[in-house]
Homo-oligomer: A and B are copies of this chain.
Amino acid sequence: MSAGKYQQVVALAGGVGASRLLRGLVRVIPPESLTVIVNTGDDMVLHGLHVSPDIDTVVYTMAGAADPDRGWGLAEETWNALSAMERYGMDTWFALGDKDLATHVFRTSRLAAGAGLATVTAEIARAWGVVPRILPMTEDRVENRVVVEEGGRELDLHFQEYLVHHGSPDSVLRAYAAGVSSAQALPEAVAAIEAAHAIVFCPSNPVVSIGPILAVPGIGAAVSRSRARKIAVSPIVGGAPVRGPADRLMRSAGIDVSCVGIARYYAGIVDTLVIDERDREQAEDVATHCKCIVANTLISELRASEALSRILCEGVDIRTPQE
């Protein structure tokens, strides 16, 4: 690699967990060297508005504008439009904040004007001053669906319906990403993977966040072909997800809810898995599948995210400005 040219890093990202890692990562590597490929399987059209939950969480968090407690949505948000929607009997289970609404209205109107989701995502990221490239995994429609059993019947729900509206019940029968097998990978995402020195699998839900990204045929193939260093951070700590319903979804997919289960899931795909200090005793088991790094992975604090990012970079031989 020529001097002065940064080592390129690609991150595969879902929502909150990924975002919290990425905001530390860009303090350790040059932001220009990072490309984030984001899951769009949680996207939905709500009241005619195109909502991209994971893209928005990544952009808002990297801009330092996300609500620190919720993890999603904007800080100092208000909910007056949402309250007013109740009057019209509109579904209000998905919390659309007033400031957040501007993003959805902007995205929807730009898409209606013929712009692609990648272009609109770039415009949104630029508007928030986010320097890394934020790319949707595809511009085709992919929809994470979760099938649950409720009162003896199977209910086939959009992931956000499952998560928010139904409160993530335990009775998951299966999850699938509708449309993913025929989705065209975003060409810029494939090119970024091909140019990457390292690929970081963020601590996101493997079933409904990282899984769908890899299931886009062009992305999965590019990741397989790539000779980049591939490192994942386990989203499972102490036998439970740090947040969200990953446990229920993993169980339904036959994945053990542990960092070992994650290691098995990513076996043959990543060469290194970072597990949490609290799971230190499982390091040996993990090491039967891939290289194992033990670190603190609870990164709701920026400082912790930055520390983890340094360990990640060391693990995949990325030169950081400090070295």
Chain A positions within 8 Å of B, measured between CB atoms, are 47-49, 77-78, 80-85, 87-90, 98-103, 105-106, 108-109, 112, 123-124, 127-128
Contact = CB atoms under 8 A, between A and B. Distances in A.
Contacts of A87: 102, 127-128
B78 A108 contact: no
A106 B80 CA distance: 14
A127 B78 CA distance: 22
B127 A98 contact: no
Contacts of A103: 84, 88
Contact of A88 (B78, B89, B102, B112): B102
Contacts of A81: 81, 98-99, 101-102, 105
A84 B87 CA distance: 24
Given A85-B102, A90-B105, 6 more contacts: A47-B108, A48-B109, A78-B78, A80-B98, A88-B106, A88-B127
30 contacts: A47-B105, A47-B108, A48-B48, A48-B105, A49-B105, A77-B80, A78-B78, A78-B80, A78-B98, A80-B80, A80-B98, A80-B99, A81-B98, A81-B105, A82-B102, A83-B99, A84-B99, A84-B101, A85-B102, A85-B106, A87-B127, A87-B128, A88-B103, A88-B123, A88-B124, A88-B127, A90-B102, A90-B106, A90-B109, A101-B101
The 9 A-B residue pairs with the shortest CB-CB distance, nearest first, are: A84-B102, A80-B98, A48-B109, A84-B99, A98-B98, A88-B106, A85-B102, A47-B109, A81-B101
Given A80-B80, A128-B87, A48 B98 contact: no
A81 to B, nearest CB: 5
A87 to B, nearest CB: 5
Contacts of A106: 47, 85, 88, 90
A176 B80 CA distance: 37
Nearest to A90: B106
Which of A49, A80, A123, A127 is packed against the most chain B CB atoms within 10 Å?
Answer: A80
A42 to B, nearest CB: 20
Chain A contact residues, majority secondary structure: helix
Contact of A98 (B84, B109, B112, B123): B84
A75 to B, nearest CB: 12
A180 B48 CA distance: 28
A103 B127 CA distance: 27
A62 to B, nearest CB: 15
A90 B127 CA distance: 11
A127 B48 contact: no
A87 B77 CA distance: 15
Which of A87, A88, A123, A124 is packed against the most chain B CB atoms within 10 Å?
Answer: A88
Contacts of A83: 99
B102 A48 contact: no
